[in-house]
Structure 1
Amino acid sequence: MKIANFAARIMRGATLALSVAAAPMVAQADTVTLRGASMFDESHAFTKTLREFERLVKENYDGDVQFDLRLNGELGVESDYVTFLQQDVAVDYTIMAPSNMAVFAPSIPLMDMPFLFRDLDHWNAVLSSDVLKPLEDELLEKADIKIIGYTGGGVRNLLSDHPTHNLEELAGFKMRVMGAPIQARTFSALSANPSAIAYNEVYNAIQTGVINSFENEAASVQDLKFYEVTPYVALTQHTITVRPIVMSGKTFRQLPEDLQAVILQAGKEAGAFGRALESREDGIKLKEMEGAGLIHVNAFEDRDKLLELVKPVQDAYAAEIGATELLAAIRAK
């Protein structure tokens, strides 16, 4: 995908968002209409997960509930979605990275910081439990955004415009990271030169040499064609993604109690569906791109050393936000 098309799509999204911002949640006296947003098309795991959420709600709710899910970034990017949710305009439900919610709830990126999970079993055990409830409570209190489920499962690796095999080659690497401070701190500890750049600007920033790398999972690389500018993938496997399914708190409270209960159960089940889907598809998509000659994949030689270097960063971050016990609970799962 060429960046001009992506940027134009996002601009159209901002205009469309303004036009639907005041759209009523209740279209008719007995009909509830919920507005959703996805940056991706129907083939992406996030969109499939949201469709499963919608199906489960309709299947288990006796009343009339309709969904208006806008795809392909029609309503902007995730940083726009979090503002819309917090202000209760344009978007009622979506999936997004925790880092995008850090502006309202500074502790929330803890659930998605690099090298937090040992493996997929550990990741799934945490997301299937209530260990993250303190972060959910903070997000609801500070941003009025309610987490109703957890999806994710993509393994994030380092993508660049030239091969990277080890820590020595990573030194000084100009790379894009998400906006939460823990992301920049982690990669600074690994000797890279990270900077937070808006997601819709990444393609162009690499193309023009502002940065030469970023980190992402296979599904997004394939869907947004980032392989056109970053065809080299180093398997740092630094993050197994956590992507909350979220709703506007105000929207949720306005719903009938029986619908609230259905939504909470549907969010939990759709999250489990999405985690299984994305973790299964992640490796497949990586191999598809490699087999088609779109990317070149190599192991990262010093991965064990990466884990040693980032642990003090994680500990210091958790202490700063008063989450030392929470981090210990996550590690103990």
Structure 2
Amino acid sequence: MKIYRNTLVGLLATAALATAAAAQECEVTLRSSDTHPDGYPTVEGVRAMAAEVKEKTEGRICIEVFPASQLGEEKDAIEQTQFGVIDMVRASFGTFNDIVPETQLFSLPYLFRNQDHMYKVMDGPIGDELAAGFAEKDLIALAYYDGGARSFYNSQKPIDSIDDLSGMKFRVMQNDVFVDMMSALGADATPMPYGEVYSSIQSGVIDGAENNYPSYDSSGHAEVAKYYTLDQHLMVPEVVAVSKLSWEKLSPEDQQIMREAARNSAVIQRQLWADQEKASEENVVADGAEIIKEIDKTPFIEAMAPVYEKYVTTPEAQDLVKRIQETQ
């Protein structure tokens, strides 16, 4: 036992020395927060950025990623990043709604035609304009990640057209936009906690819900709601942002390295997300789910006119939505 204890102490001491030596190699260590678990596409995306930054700065700048809310939930992590307590954060646009008002528009249903459309918008001039809004709040937006697309699934029948939604009851998040979206589509919205969805579909309290492929798969909802319609009514981007205080400590050359690495990491993250979606689709299909892909989205989009009229009220917001929709 004594020999084992001495060996263990020796191993721990060696590991501690190795960690200290690695830290000494980095002139700057940036701490990055993520709420998702280890191995999740956003976590691995920032790690890819970290690897490129470390290589291009010859080890001078290191980015240490803390997954699984180790540095706090998204709202807290954002606030800490604004104050420079944390150096970086990866978070959903939805969490920034009270900080950067323009991000509210990205929770509008059917704002993006598909994922390629979202990428073109976020990687173009509109993404640059949004970055300026983040900068006003002491956050430097470096890259936009893919947060997935939410679609409808139910236990009753395939949804091939907007008429199929009439009278059906769907669980949605407690959000006025979502409730109004369901009403515009002719369905009934039933806000409820996520943990109650499975039993509520199983018992017939609701007909279905809406979420992305991985959530549909991992939650087990595919077991009780076999029909998944790929309408992609909601795509909310995510952002990788650096504290302005941490950013201004970097040289212009290092800032450029960070920007390039972040943009490259977005490409990697999006592919990782696509791979995860594909794996989840294969899982649910193998378990008997029916995927409805070939639908005409036009009637769904046109039905959103009263929703947009209610929530897109200022000339600036109307112009931004118009430019997003016109991006090719």
TM bucket (normalised to shorter chain) is 0.7 to 0.9
d(CA) in 2 for partners of 1:48 and 1:178? Answer: 30
Equivalent residue for 1:11? none
Kept in 2, the 8 Å contact 1:107–1:321? The answer is no
| 1:127-276 superposed matches below 5 A | 127-141=122-136, 143-152=137-146, 154-159=148-153, 165=159, 167=163, 169=165, 171=167, 173-177=169-173, 182-192=177-187, 194=189, 202=194, 204-206=195-197, 209=200, 212=206, 214-222=209-217, 227=222, 233-276=228-271
Residue 8 of structure 1 aligns with which residue?
none
Which deviations, in whole Å up to 9, do the C-alpha atoms of 1:112-136 show, x marking residues without a partner?
A: 5321222343223222312233322
SS of equivalent to 1:118: coil
2:44 to 41, 48, 52: 48
Question: Hey, what's the Cα distance between the residues in 1 that align with 2:135 and 2:218?
Answer: 31
The answer to whether the 8 Å contact 2:170/2:210 transfers is no
Is 1:314 matched with 2:308? yes
1:68 offset after TM fit, Å? 2.6
Structure 1 pair 137–191 and aligned structure 2 pair: CA distance change class (3 A): farther
- 1:97 pairs with 92, 97, 104, which one? 92
What is the deviation of 1:302?
7.1
Contact 2:198-2:220 at 8 Å conserved across structures: no
| Residue number in structure 2 paired with 1:34 | 30
SS at match of 1:326: helix
- Superposed CA deviations along residues 43-86 of structure 1, whole A, max 9, x for unmatched, are 42212211111111112124522333222343454344333333
CA distance in 2, matches of 1:214, 1:88: 39
Corresponding position of 2:63: 67
**SS of 1:104 mapped into structure 2:** coil
On the 8 A contact 1:175/1:192 being kept in 2, the answer is: no
- What is the DSSP-based 3-state SS (H/G/I as helix, E as strand, rest coil) of the residue aligned with 1:175? strand
For 2:105, the aligned partner's letter is L
Q: 1:163 to 1:321 in 2, by over 3 A?
A: farther
Give the deviation of 1:206 after TM superposition. Answer: 2.3
TM-score (norm 2): 0.74
**Partner amino acid, structure 2, of 1:152:** D
Shift of 1:193: 5.0
- Give the % identical residues: 21
Kept in 1: contact 2:93–2:236 (CA 8 A): no
Following superposition, the deviation at residue 152 of structure 1 comes to 0.6
TM-score scaled to structure 1, two decimals?
0.73
Q: Structure 1 residues 298, 274: closer, same or farther in 2, change over 3 A? A: same
Q: Deviations over 1:147-169 (max 9, x none)?
A: 10112163321245665735554
- Which of the numbers 301, 312, 326 marks the counterpart of 2:320? 326
3-state SS in 2 of match to 1:319: coil
> 3-state SS of the aligned residue for 1:66?
strand
Distance apart, 1:225 and its partner CA: 5.8
> Deviations for 1:165-197, whole angstroms, at most 9, x for unmatched residues?
355546463523375x54454344334555777
CA-to-aligned-CA distance 1:222-246 (integer Å, 9 cap, x gap): 4566657766533222134422222
CA distance in 1, matches of 2:142, 2:191: 28
Shift of 1:250: 2.9
Number of the residue aligned with 1:117: 112
Q: Give yes or no for contact 2:82–2:139 (8 Å, CA) kept in 1.
A: yes
Change (3 A) 1:71 1:229: farther
Question: Structure 1: where are the runs of 5+ without partners?
Answer: 1-26
- Match of residue 19 from structure 2: none
Change in 2 beyond 3 A, CA 1:246/1:236: same
Compute the displacement of 1:332 (Å).
2.0
Q: Aligned-pair distance for 1:101?
A: 0.7
Contact 1:174–1:192 at 8 Å: present in 2 too? yes
Letter in 2 for 1:48: E
Q: Would you say the 8 A contact 1:156–1:217 is kept in 2?
A: yes
Q: Which amino acid aligns with 2:322?
A: A
CA contact (8 A) 2:165 2:187 kept: no
Task: Return the index of the structure with the highest Cα Rg.
Answer: 2
The secondary structure found in structure 2 opposite 1:274 is helix
Q: How many residues align?
A: 299
Find the residue that maps to 1:96 and give its secondary structure. strand
Q: Is the 8 A contact 1:99 1:178 kept in 2?
A: no
